[in-house]
Chain A
């Protein structure tokens, strides 16, 4: 479903170009739960952002369902992120002035068309799935870190994407809360959703179906 072929990416720094990925190739099948592991600075987040179309590679190709992401127009890429892909970040990045329920609906707020009753119901279902239905009316500031991350997962679920990209979703959480988040992601995968996650916690990586190890911008194992 998602294929990365010989991906190269470098960042410009004051000291010159710093290579992040040096020819990474990877295949992810539909319904797979893949965990990309590696040390800090190994290039795992860069790979996740390139796979999710947020970042363009300097060289190489990413194909989603046979289509080269580089060949998509900006509009098509926006549409892909609005329908097929969803992101969960380490820092949940909820809009502080919207309630948990409204944050979940954010992907549907891009036009003047009012959000339909069906989408509202779907948003409540997603909040219920992450165990936060009773806190739907709370602002993020009145939720714990784990609850905020669960709202972010509900926001990622509401569009019913094919792939969820999660960049260290447990990184800022304590052990119990982190495990709860991992159980939610595993449950989504069990329902048929592909999950591509970045983590450096071996315990959480063990819950994924496959672990891809990256070091120094290259895949060391699991490709």
Chain B
């Protein structure tokens, strides 16, 4: 027996009220736990899906452009000098940044303009493995995507314009490539291009280890894109590193919206639960003024009375944390299945998260009981004497 005996017995005496309070607070904790798990899963799911639709950072050599116009006719911007990036150094620098684990794909490009059957066309040398990670919408309408360096794939419009089909041969920079497939229509500039193996095209053009630009897809859930861009700029001083703001912003906005919504709803739920705990302890203090006066008359200090009332809230909070976390954990798994988030890993029990939830809820309930506990501690035995 110690001071805990008093709140525990009092809570047991008023069992229906205690169970109701624990149920209400548990629902709050369960909602918050489920919301946090869900928002995390939704954020990761959205991020993975959005990342599959393209890169969000472009690394290119620094170039100078000149706006040309003559006789009232604008001829547009003309590059003064075409520069290349060194493939090995650039890729090593990109993969060496601090946030390298946040990069989902690094796709270098080498572009050649050529003529096929006297028709001008652009041929882009790519690393097909990396390219497919940032262009998950690519699919072969005919044939298959390239599997060896001598193969080439044609965009939907380019194949029609050049009369290419799987098995056709195309000469680029003096080297012959075999068309392995034709891409389905993408609605982008990819439809008008041919895609060859990066190193094969570099060799054909005599520009080994040279690339025109590199597209980088960064996973930005929980990481600031500005930091990744800054790290790339620092690692590649002679390049232009541009975050494609629109893409990045829309991704971040979507993920942030989900997170903020979850946080706001969680905050409201927790605030409501805290107010309920506070009101419960307030009502307990009012009902037990005689008891508090008696305890003070028996020599209980103000601190002991404060501690006593606070312990009652703490016990309620601790019980609610355990029940609520378990319920929220179970609910988040069910909700993920209902929301078709099955591609995300099922939520795993995390003892650290459970511990943090337990401590946070206990502290919150304790804080919620501060005003009534202070009011109880201020009751003087002489005040209670009127009732005694």
Contacts and interface: CB of A to CB of B under 8 A. Distances in A.
Contact of A110 (B12, B291, B300): B300
Nearest to A74: B302
Interface stretch (B3-11, B47-55, B249-257, B317-325): B3-11
Contacts of A87: 297-298
Interface residues of B, number: 26
A91 B300 CA distance: 19
A72 interface: no
Interface in A66-84: 74-75, 78-83
Contacts of A98: 5-6, 9
B67 interface: no
B2 A115 contact: yes
Contacts of A159: 299
A161 B3 CA distance: 21
Interface stretch (A99-107, A143-151, A205-213, A215-223): A99-107
B388 A107 contact: no
B301 A105 contact: no
Nearest to B388: A89
Interface in B283-308: 290-291, 294-302, 304
Indicate the member of B13, B295, B298 with the most A CB atoms within 10 Å: B298
B295 A55 contact: no
A96 B1 contact: no
A82 B301 CA distance: 9
Contacts of B12: 97
Contacts of B3: 109-112
Contacts of B304: 110-111
B268 interface: no
B298 A54 contact: no
A118 B230 CA distance: 70
Given A54-B381, A83-B299, A102 B2 contact: no
A56 interface: yes
A107 B2 CA distance: 10
Given A89-B388, A95-B291, A111-B3, A79 B299 contact: yes
A93 interface: yes
B385 interface: yes
B2 A93 contact: no
A164 to B, nearest CB: 13
Nearest to B10: A97
Contacts of B10: 97
Nearest to B384: A54
B382 interface: yes
Contacts of B9: 95, 97-98, 102
B290 A93 contact: yes
Contacts, number: 83
Contacts of A49: 382, 385
Contacts of B388: 89, 91, 93
Interface in A30-44: none
Interface in B259-314: 290-291, 294-302, 304
Contact of B299 (A82, A95, A102, A114): A82
Given A55-B382, A55-B385, A93-B290, A102 B301 contact: no
A114 B13 contact: no
B382 A81 contact: no
Contacts of A80: 299
A107 B296 CA distance: 10
A113 to B, nearest CB: 6
Interface string B369-388: 00000000000011001001
Contacts of A56: 382
A49 B290 CA distance: 16
B385 A102 contact: no
Nearest to A112: B2
B376 to A, nearest CB: 14
Contacts of A91: 388
A3 to B, nearest CB: 21
A115 B1 contact: yes
Contacts of A113: 2
Indicate the member of A82, A93, A114 with the most B CB atoms within 10 Å: A93
B298 A107 contact: yes
A116 B281 CA distance: 30
Nearest to B299: A82
Interface string B345-388: 00000000000000000000000000000000000011001001
Given A114-B1, A114-B2, A82 B381 contact: no
Contacts of B298: 81-82, 87, 106-107, 155
B285 to A, nearest CB: 15
Contact of A81 (B1, B6, B297, B385): B297
A49 B10 CA distance: 28
8 contacts: A54-B297, A54-B382, A56-B382, A81-B297, A82-B298, A110-B3, A113-B2, A114-B1
The 8 closest A-B pairs by CB, nearest first: A82-B299, A97-B13, A81-B299, A97-B9, A110-B304, A54-B381, A78-B301, A55-B382
Given A54-B297, A102-B9, A108-B1, 9 more contacts: A55-B381, A74-B301, A80-B299, A93-B290, A109-B5, A110-B300, A112-B3, A113-B2, A114-B2
